[in-house]
Amino acid sequence: MHKFKLLKDFDVKKKRVLMRVDFNIPLGDDKKISSNERWRIEAVLPTLKYLVEQNSKVILISHLGRPGGKRVDGLSLKPAAEELSVLLNKEVGFLEKTIGDEVNQRIEKMNWGDVLLLENLRFLKEEKENSEDFSKELARFGDVYVNDAFSVSHRKHASVVGVVKFLSGCAGFLFEKEIKEFDKVLGFSEKPFVAVVGGAKISTKIGVINKFLDLADNVLVGGALSNTILAKEGCFMGESLVEECAEKINTNNEKLILPVDFGVWNGKSSTYINIRNVEKGEKALDIGPKSIDLFSGFIKKAKLVVWNGPLGLVEKKPFDKSTTAIAKEISNSQAYSVVGGGDTVAFLRKCGINKFDHISTAGGAMLSYLANETLPGIKALEDF
């Protein structure tokens, strides 16, 4: 049972509220946020609307992309402020500063109930370094700190853990909702429990795969993750994406279900082949139809399904086929379903597949929480 405080435990009427959000949203060529990508903004609206109703001065902080501690054209949060203004039906201010006296002066001039978004936290290296001075600077902008960015709470960054050392903190409505859903997964008693794990980087997911091998009845692995696992088992993977990984997965565990065929690209055309038949110059970019049938069989019987990560290169047809098929299978199943991961959710929104019990804003944080049952951002709120 977590011991952190919730937003409604605080009196925020006519208080300055420093609120961490996750507006890490890919921008289009026009530097705008598409309707398929604005879901991270929509997710924090309940918390924001509550604070506005309480006549708080709301100061929003977020990151966008990986600018490496310097200002980068195209990674400004200004488009997020514009989009939020539309969604809130209220003008949201934006300041091309993250810290400093200019920020303080702007906050002083805000009316009660106003919302202000500050510039990209990661334009300053002190954010990722969890600088104490930077944390203090952020803390002086608020009377209360609200973390409504569960999706970045696996990071030991200043805006997630450092600021809480200097400012009373609590969880926002979205953060609270995410925790409740994942605790439900960890305590779910009905069987079978099926985990579906895809994506590219096995280094960020190997811990949760091993954890799921303890928790779940079956763990279905696709995407480039399966390339790496099968390569370690001696499968020739041609030009497929394969990651070096020191940690091991017990491939002899009968709960682990790997693809039996691939959709491959040879530079000119695509075809489906057995996992043992990849040739030089070919790239495995999706799991094949036999693997889809194999995975679907487990999902049909499941009482609980947790899914994180695409099973193929969804940006390029026809390698979105398996992800689409498995999404429909989970959506149409009788299982309680929880889906997370930025790429996965963006793809589902694009396809219009949304019949899931919980669609999480989190990817890495979701996996970290399910693997470890705690996060730096949670511990910071509990320890303040």
Burial of 28 (0-12, 13-18, 19+ CB in 10 A): exposed
Cα–Cα distances in angstroms (integers) from residue 131 to residues 99, 126, 156, 164, in the given order: 13, 5, 10, 12
Is 232 a catalytic site residue?
no
More confident residue, 159 or 349: 159
pLDDT average, residue stretch 249-278: 90
More confident residue, 39 or 203: 39
78 with 192, same domain?
no
Count of other CB atoms within 10 angstroms of residue 79: 19
Residue 31 has pLDDT above 80, yes or no: no
pLDDT average, residue stretch 9-38: 87
In this predicted structure, which of 10-24, 201-215, 342-356 has the lowest mean pLDDT? 201-215
Residue 247 has pLDDT above 80, yes or no: no
pLDDT value for 1? 61
Residue 267 has pLDDT above 90, yes or no: no
264 with 147, same domain?
no
Is 201 a catalytic site residue?
yes
346 falls within a domain = yes
Indicate which residue of 199, 342, 363, 377 is catalytic.
Answer: 342
Indicate which residue of 16, 20, 40, 122 is catalytic.
Answer: 40
60 with 18, same domain?
yes
Residue 90 has pLDDT above 90, yes or no: yes
pLDDT value for 246? 60
pLDDT value for 86? 93
More confident residue, 201 or 123: 123
pLDDT value for 170? 96
Is 65 a catalytic site residue?
no
Q: Give the Cα separation of 92 and 103 in Å (integer).
A: 15
Q: Does the CA dihedral 374-371-20-123 come out positive or negative?
A: positive
234 falls within a domain = yes
90 with 147, same domain?
yes
165 with 281, same domain?
no
Residue 99 has pLDDT above 70, yes or no: yes
pLDDT average, residue stretch 163-171: 95
Name the range with the highest mean pLDDT among 134-148, 228-242, 335-349.
Answer: 134-148
2 falls within a domain = no
Which residues on adjacent β-strands are paired with residue 271? 264
Domain CATH code at residue 73: 3.40.50.1260
377 falls within a domain = no
Indicate which residue of 15, 156, 165, 201 is catalytic.
Answer: 201
Residue 38 has pLDDT above 70, yes or no: yes
Instruction: Tell me which residue range forms the domain holding 33.
Output: 7-178
Is 255 a catalytic site residue?
no
166 with 192, same domain?
no
Residue 384 has pLDDT above 70, yes or no: no
Q: What is the pTM of this model?
A: 0.90
Tokens 């600088």 belong to which residue? 131
Q: Which of 125, 152, 178 is the last residue of a domain?
A: 178
Which residues on adjacent β-strands are paired with residue 18? 59, 145
Q: What whole-number percentage of the chain has pLDDT above 70?
A: 98
The structural domain count of the chain equals: 2
Residue 28 has pLDDT above 80, yes or no: no
pLDDT average, residue stretch 78-104: 94
b/e 241-268 (16+ beta carbons within 10 angstroms → b): bbeebeeebeeeeebbbbbebbbbbeee
pLDDT average, residue stretch 239-251: 78
Residue 147 has pLDDT above 80, yes or no: yes
283 with 200, same domain?
yes
